[in-house]
Amino acid sequence: MALKVPEIYDLIKTHGFADYELLDSGGGRKLERFGEVFVDRPEPQALWAPRLPDDRWAQVHAVFSASGEDEEKGKWRIDRKVPESWPVRLAVGKCADVTMLCRLQGLWHLGLFPEQLPHWEWMLEQIAAAQVAGVERPRVLNLFGYTGAATLLAAAAGAEVVHVDASKKAIQWARENQAASGLDAAPVRWMLDDARKFLAREVRRGRDYHVLLVDPPKFGRGPKNETWDLFTDLPLLMDDCAAVAAKDKAAMVLTVYAIRASGLAFGELVAEKMAGAGGRLQVGELAIRSKDDRAMVPTSLFVRWARG
């Protein structure tokens, strides 16, 4: 039976976790706490007015000032002393507890995307389901893996993980997170590679995975200057994702950030590529919510697929 995109468009919200909190948002900005560090970062979708008074926003450690129309270009203004890196504990359920080292980098990213928490929880559910089904060590493929939050959570839960990223700096950062989490002996393969080329080789090798995590950028470059364009390359990548999905028990989550497109478009793409595999789809958006429920900020589109 062909897969169909569900008519229900899901909004998955999270308040974050103990070491992360969205304190306020508005006026194109968001006020957040990562561990003991408070930051003020751009958020173009925060069209409303901030709820907290100006003096509360003024108490942050650092403010990222964008340059021109691109909110990712700019620099940090340090108002209070910030360590070069500091630990943020990420505990998901009872089976996965890792430490991520956050940093104020050249971009406004800090090395962690807290809104991904529901996807991490879902991933751990899929790993647990595979283990219950008799897979002693489920295989997880994390494409565009960045600093490794999902990779380390999966490894902590007993999975065997292949982490692929085109950035040497990101993989080094992920390895430091691995050490900080006490997971040096965990079965993780760190691959500095172009995601498309690596996945094509896995197809030729006949390898398969129980969980696939796909979090591509809009545009990017591989370690050998390969180019990536989301709208051109994602459909081909999805073909190979379908080919490496384990036949007995498999799941995939696709997350797409910062583009002018509908989640339904990506739902239709995954439905087409996974048509012969059966299973079920979920399509929607991720959002981060302040703990007092004063505000909610949309962050990304997603598609989840699972079978078995």
* Residues 55-114 pLDDT 10s: 999 999 999 987 655 555 789 999 999 999 999 999 997 777 999 999 997 678 899 999
pLDDT in 10s for each residue of the chain, 308 residues: 568 888 778 999 999 999 999 999 999 999 999 999 999 999 988 988 999 999 999 999 999 987 655 555 789 999 999 999 999 999 997 777 999 999 997 678 899 999 999 999 999 999 999 999 999 999 999 999 999 999 999 999 999 999 999 999 999 999 999 999 999 999 999 999 999 999 999 999 999 999 999 999 888 888 888 898 999 999 999 999 999 999 989 999 999 986 777 888 899 999 999 998 889 999 999 999 988 887 889 999 999 999 87
H or E element: which one contains 121?
A: helix 117-132
The answer to whether 24 touches 278, Cβ cutoff 8 Å, is no
d(CA 19, CA 16): 8
- pLDDT for the residue 291: 84
d(CA 114, CA 227): 28
- pLDDT for the residue 130: 96
**Encoded amino acid at 241, one letter:** C
- For the four alpha carbons of 230, 13, 150 and 160, in that order, the dihedral sign comes to negative
End-to-end CA distance of the chain: 15
- pLDDT for the residue 141: 98
- pLDDT for the residue 258: 66
pLDDT per position as a tens digit, 124-151 = 999 999 999 999 999 999 999 999 999 9
Q: List domains and CATH numbers for the chain.
A: 10-18+107-307 (3.40.50.150)
- pLDDT for the residue 72: 59
- pLDDT for the residue 262: 82
CA 287 vs CA 42, 182, 204, 232: distances in Å = 15, 30, 37, 26
The answer to whether 170 touches 142, Cβ cutoff 8 Å, is no
